Amino acid sequence: MKKENVLKLIKDILTKACIYFTCMPLFMAALAALVNKIVVPADTSTDFSLAIYGFVNNPDFLYGTYLVFACTALGAAAAVQVYKIKKLPSASRHILFFVLLYLVLLLIFIPLSPYKLTSVSTLYLSVVFIVIYLIVFGIIMGVKAIINSSKNKKLKYENQFDEVK
């Protein structure tokens, strides 16, 4: 691989990692607010969303959370590079991306997390990850199908065969 291509690949990974790192705390805060509304009754004084998001009085916990976000964002950005492999069929790229992203969750996010996760909470986290992935994947594929169908409608059909009499 040429040096220019390697530098371009590293730049692309780091750029995507920065974007993901910016979005992850926002997503976690939104998820925490949702969980806080659903799980914790309104009459309790504990704020479950603060526990999820990591804003506690311990700065080491907060820095650990952002370190996990940074490592996870870097792994996710590296996993996205699968889509540049044009020799693979589209379905294979999507499956490989899902597997790599799931490995990032299992090998980076969960082990480095400052939370003490049990096997049950890891299972719940895996199920939530899979459900969110399938929802986003479904939306993306639906939009792609709509775009492709509108492109195909614009094409005029030209008969390439002689009519049989």
Read off the pLDDT of residues 78-126 as tens digits, 9 standing for 90 and up. 999 998 888 998 888 989 999 999 999 888 888 887 667 778 878 888 8
Cα 9 from Cα 66, distance rounded (Å) = 24
pLDDT band (50, 70, 90) for residue 73: very high
The model's pLDDT over 34-49, given as tens digits with 9 standing for 90+, comes to 666 655 555 444 444 4
Two tokens at 74? 């870097």
Domain map of the chain by residue range? Answer: 3-115, 119-154
Give CA–CA dist 32/30, Å, rounded.
Answer: 5
DSSP sequence for the chain: --HHHHHHHHHHHHHHHHHHHHHHHHHHHHHHHHHHHHHS-TT-S--HHHHHHT-SS-HHHHHHHHHHHHHHHHHHHHHHGGGG-TTS-HHHHHHHHHHHHHHHIIIIIHHH-SS---HHHHHHHHHHHHHHHHHHHHHHHHHHHHHHHHHHHHSPP---SPPP-
Euclidean distance between CA atoms 136 and 138, whole angstroms: 5
Q: Is the pLDDT of residue 17 over 80?
A: yes
